Amino acid sequence: MLKKRKVIVTGAGSGIGKEIVKGCLNEGASVIACDINGNSLNNLSLAMDDRNVLYTYQLDVSKYEAVTKFFYYIEAEHSDVDCLVNNAGIYLAKNILDYQADEMDKVLDINVKGFIYFSQMFGKKLLEEKRKGVIINMSSVSGMEGSSDAIYGLSKAAILGLTKSCAMNFSPYIRVNAVAPTMVNTTMMGIIPDWRKEEYLSHQLINTPVLPEDVAETVVFLLSDKAKHYTGATFDINNGGYLR
């Protein structure tokens, strides 16, 4: 589905990001995988076979200068890039009453500003060249229904607004959609409070857990031409949660 596509994926070294990279590669895309963790990127490269066209780039998405430098690299080495998956994020599992100011800044810098920086620079490039492209923003059920970690929840709600606004600002060239999964079996799930996990599960109408590869399949679909009529939409992968 993704032959001739070139996809940037942030937060690509583990969890959902890693599965998105695999899914894109399996569908014939080239991928530029970004992550703050160099070891994770090395392990990702080792896990792929020689047939895959995978490039890795270590950076902190919350640093504007680092993202600017990355897009200079993109212009020089991958000027045909046409897809972006904003996935990098952080979850501290803290009550808002316990947050320190620097912790608030860290979550918002990564979870919101990182998405803004990449969207701005990717959007500017493709709009100036009048080329078609796609942006997928990873949000969360907590951005739609609230979170036990209010700062994380507000960051993921902000991404829904960013998605709709960029869909308008970048039309007709770039389609922009959001994916909002429920709990997914990654390392993050290990620090979600038990009461919140039970609440999520009690609302779900399908009793099959949502896996990282399930989320990746939705992202691959949205990157493909099969989703050519979707923009400004949110795909809530939550087993029918919160319908009642």
Catalytic residue among 57, 91, 117, 152: 152
Report phi then psi at 177, rounded to 5.
-135, 160
Structure tokens at 176: 């922009």
Name every residue whose Cβ is closer than 8 Å to that of residue 72 and which is 6 or more positions away in sequence: none
Q: Which residue from 60, 61, 56, 54 is spatially nearest to 73, judged by alpha carbons?
A: 56
Instruction: Please say whether the beta carbons of 188 and 174 come within 8 A.
Output: no
**Other beta carbons less than 10 A from residue 139's beta carbon:** 27
Give residue for tokens 């998105």: 20
**Other beta carbons less than 10 A from residue 98's beta carbon:** 9
> Does 242 qualify as catalytic in the annotation?
no
Looking at residue 192, its amino acid is I
Name every residue whose Cβ is closer than 8 Å to that of residue 23 and which is 6 or more positions away in sequence: 213, 216, 217, 219, 220
Q: Which residue from 10, 3, 4 is spatially nearest to 135, judged by alpha carbons?
A: 10
| C-alpha to C-alpha distance for 174 and 191, rounded to whole angstroms | 36
Q: Which residues are catalytic?
A: 152
